[in-house]
Structure 1
């Protein structure tokens, strides 16, 4: 479809491709600056105004679910907000799989939203344009898969040649450019001794002096005060990752965390060493193979076997946060069958408490909260009438603002007519049209704000009538439910989170239950 575009509201979408990023790394102009110039020239040519630009971060995902600005764009397109969207090429909109391309195509088709490019304007409800658009997306996806396959093969070849393919060197090394193509590693003289120390502490022959990963992390943080590569505190996971990394014996690896795609998204599970590709690297080793293999054997012996088979064993999983550092607290099981709730962050002074005591406190808190909440939501309470009156006032305000918006748009059109009839000079027209647009924008923003308030108020009222029976159900069922996973589901149905604070130990002093717990129920005011 060619020719003049219909009047209306237009947005623009910007996304960088891998080719753009590579060109910028070679010194080319910023892609977004170049594309904005192209799209604004295109808007000027069609005599339209770009009201909003959706600009993805330089590194965005392949799937549209991983691109927040695309998700926002599709939401606005679904609501019919735009007459058209300007983009430098249709391939920028969707380069994911067939399902993603279908989502994009249908969003534009059902909302009757144009796609405007410098080469062509696509009307998704025109059969020829629709076919051309879908073919463009198909070719884009095919090109993407070819490039991706070529890149993966290139990485495999590089690993087979002993080259380091990571973008960031592991702690103890610096990246070094090889003559020609590729990278390797060279030893960082300041960090390498720390790597040797970590392995030596873990492999100490004397059991009294030997340190586990938690003690090593504390030793590095509190005694040596050595920062990590990102200037943060050492954690058990960081130390564990170093002890398992074959890079330190001069090897390079591939496929340790492959992308596993599912309908709900994708994940990157860490594979066992024997299931990955490992080759001799070009870089020097920091640790001998003998020390490394002995470390792996100790790690296997000290590894706690997983008995949960993917099921939740902590009824408070993902629910309780530390009041001091904000970390999510975890369950620590003991050999006697009990478990405690503890903060996982190193050096955090928060003291742990047995999980069953925290559970009892949560139920007591829910009972108190439910009693207070029920009193606020009594059928005979005049507050219900006040809520209905508030909804009526908000709806009336929205209606009044919409009527005012109609008048202002008519006024805007009349200003165009006065300019064409030369009653207004250009300066007068610009001054008055800008003032009118400002007033229109203020009213439109006011309508959006009131509509959000109306929605939230309706949800709050609806929640009041639902949350009371739900919390009552949880309080009744929880004590009689043995499965930790089901207990966790019950609590998550009524709680956003609970904030835990305890900075004084009391295990042997009879003060085990002396802690603060602040509940944040779902859907509460």
Structure 2
């Protein structure tokens, strides 16, 4: 293949090797690809900018670190030529490979060469066969994917453990990585979870008991858990009911395996899908169980009996979604439907409680429980009340709102103004630092390399401060739009003065958020505070 040398080319040499290609094939190895690409570039007077190596990455998608780095260098104008051993090294998805070769590379004036396929985009007459080769490469990937998947499923049916790490409670056998052995360190935790379940405790109570006893969660036993899962001393002992349920539902703890629970959509799409339990791959007596099969079956029966089966086919439409919050932790109050109650209307089956409390118990937050019926009535009555005042006693209502807004906005405006002044002072200090840096460079007191590094650092800080100043100035402007805000609120609330029922649209038009406090006893009576924050003006007393 004779190449034109009229233009100076700087190449990125791209190498890729998938696990499915096999490292034993010397002609396909990373080392041999590097040698071939280097020799070709040198013999054709093409300058080498860098090697981009993706070792162990499939060609069916382009989410590869070195490939993405190469694209970044193309965008930054560092290379104008890409060379691969063949088309399949670039990728095995013919649509995406074609998009890069026929659209992206030409748009960026990038010359692409696939050595053994005889492809050079500089010579258009050589590229007629290229789309067909890309299709063949994808067909090869599809066939390989089928074979690999079939082999893996066959191993699953045989009871061979296939997974990067062992399930909680087990270790991989040092003598046979495809076999599980009991982890004596975590075995007591599994036994305790099953024991508590047999005593009649639900998953929520079990998780709270584990936190009370300061028992570390499963991720605490994983190496580098701090980096992988963000594990800290604060969340180390936080169990959720889902963690407990996973332990109770997994047959691995009685010596059996259920695999292939979430297969990928296709060889081109790594997204995992949910499938029915009947499609799982089951294997019995694959390893020693922590609990007996009889105990495991008993636990499954107990969990199934605890379910609140919706036999009537009822569904609660949560019109308060995204609005109801816990004033203590700030997280949402979520609905819980108990179909075992003997009620006539659907709303009476439902109550709201703090999602943090549901997950982590009383040590994290309190329940803030409120019946859905009570919440609905309180909000409806409050909207009707303020809406009627807005219609009948508009002048007095307006004066009270203006007075309230002005007091709050003055305080808010002062705080924002102080922040703005601080940011402007910081920006002025950076500007002085930049001037000094420029003078040092002119006088030769600093090297060009250090000047460039410091220049980039200061510029980033300046850009960030300028953006923060713009945001603060906008917030200050908004904070003093008192008249406009109360007019918007008056127009909003008066429209709904005569409503008889609530829906999502009404709530999202006039309400910003709702805080539900815990019930408390005052003078022998139980009361509960519900704080409604309206859009434009906040809460009203």
TM-score tier after normalising by the smaller chain length: 0.5 to 0.7
What 5-or-longer segments of structure 2 have no aligned partner?
222-235, 339-347, 387-403, 414-446, 536-541
Q: Which residue of 2 aligns with 1:350?
A: 365
Q: 1:253 to 1:322 in 2, by over 3 A?
A: farther
| Helix, strand or coil at the partner of 1:219 | helix
Q: Is the 2:59–2:88 Cα contact (8 Å) retained in structure 1? A: no
* CA distance in structure 2 between the partners assigned to 1:312 and 1:137 by the alignment: 50
Contact 1:506 1:514 survives alignment (8 Å): no
Query: CA 1:276–1:284 in 2, change beyond 3 Å: closer, same or farther?
Result: same
Q: Is the contact made by 1:108 and 1:114 (CA closer than 8 Å) also made in structure 2?
A: yes
Give the match for residue 265 of structure 2: 260
Q: 1:308 to 1:241 in 2, by over 3 A?
A: farther
Deviation at 1:202, TM superposition (A): 0.9
* Cα shift at 1:450: 9.8
Does 2:243 align with 1:242? no
What residue number does 1:213 align with? 203
Instruction: Report deviation, 1:516.
Output: 13
Q: 1:59 to 1:122 in 2, by over 3 A?
A: closer
Q: Deviations over 1:332-364 (max 9, x none)?
A: 32553342342255266234546898998xx99
Instruction: Please say if residues 59 and 90 of structure 2, whose CA atoms lie closer than 8 Å, have aligned partners that are also in contact.
Output: no
Are 1:331 and 2:337 an aligned pair?
no
How many Å apart are 1:124 and its aligned residue? 3.9
Q: Which residue is equivalent to 2:18?
A: 17
| CA distance in structure 1 between the aligned counterparts of 2:59 and 2:309, rounded to whole angstroms | 35
User: Is residue 248–residue 285 contact of structure 1 (8 Å, CA) maintained in 2?
Assistant: yes
Aligned to 2:298: 294
1:83 aligns with 2:80: yes
Contact map agreement 1:248 1:287 (CA 8 A) in 2: yes
Q: 1:323 to 1:109 in 2, by over 3 A?
A: farther
Show the counterpart of 1:48: 47
Kept after mapping to 2: 8 A contact 1:331/1:341:
yes
Q: d(CA) in 2 for partners of 1:40 and 1:456? A: 48
- Report the Cα distance in structure 2 between the residues aligned to 1:99 and 1:71, rounded to whole angstroms: 18
1:348-387 deviation per Cα after TM superposition (whole angstroms, max 9, x unaligned): 6234546898998xx99xx979x979x99xxxxxxxxxxx
- Structure 2 residue 234 is matched with structure 1 residue 230: no
1:165 aligns with 2:180: no
SS for the counterpart of 2:206 is helix
Q: Are residues 482 and 197 of structure 1, via their aligned partners in 2, closer, same or farther at CA, if it must alter by over 3 Å? A: same
Q: Quick one: which of 99, 103, 110 aligns to 1:103?
A: 99
TM-aligned CA deviation for residue 482 of structure 1: 5.0
- Paired position in structure 2 for 1:63: 61
| 3-state secondary structure, aligned to 2:172 | strand
* DSSP 3-state at the match of 1:185: strand
1:237 Cα offset (Å): 1.2
Query: Normalized against structure 2, the TM-score is what?
Result: 0.58
Q: Are 1:11 and 1:85, in contact at CA under 8 Å, matched by a contact in 2?
A: yes
Tell me if the contact between 2:264 and 2:272 (Cα under 8 Å) persists in the aligned partners.
yes
For residues 277-327 of structure 1, the C-alpha deviation after alignment (integer angstroms, 9 at most, x for no partner) is: 21224312222222222222222222345779898766118x979996x9x
User: Could you tell me how far apart the structure 2 residues matched to 1:253 and 1:437 are?
Assistant: 58
Alpha-carbon shift at residue 222 of structure 1 (Å): 2.1
Distance change (3 Å), C-alpha of 1:506 and 1:9: farther
Superimposed CA distance per residue, residues 477-506 of structure 1 (whole angstroms, 9 cap, x where no aligned partner): 99889555x689989xx99xx999x9x955
How far the C-alpha of 1:168 sits from its partner, in A, is: 1.7
Residues of 1 paired with 2:303 and 2:270: CA distance? 29
Larger mean CA deviation between 69-78 and 211-220 belongs to 69-78
CA contact (8 A) 1:175 1:185 kept: yes
Q: Which residue of 2 aligns with 1:316?
A: 322
SS in 2 for 1:332: strand
What is the RMSD computed on CA atoms of the aligned residues?
6.2
TM-score by length of 1: 0.59
Uncovered stretches (5+) of structure 1, i.e. residues with no partner: 205-209, 377-434, 520-525
CA-CA distance at 1:164 after TM superposition: 1.6
* 1:271 Cα deviation after fit: 3.4
Partner in structure 2 of residue 428 of structure 1: none
Cα displacement string for residues 43-62 of structure 1 (whole angstroms, at most 9, x for unaligned residues): 777463637x7776967895
Q: Is 1:175 the counterpart of 2:172 in the alignment?
A: yes
| Aligned-pair CA distance for 1:71 | 5.7
1:188 has 2:209 as partner: no
1:278 alignment partner in structure 2: 282
Provide the rounded CA distance (Å) in 2 between the counterparts of 1:245 and 1:72. 41
Give the equivalent residue in structure 2 for 1:420: none
Distance 2:121 2:326 in 1: 49
- Displacement of 1:110: 2.9
SS of the counterpart of 2:218? coil
Contact 1:40–1:50 (CA under 8 A) maintained in structure 2: no
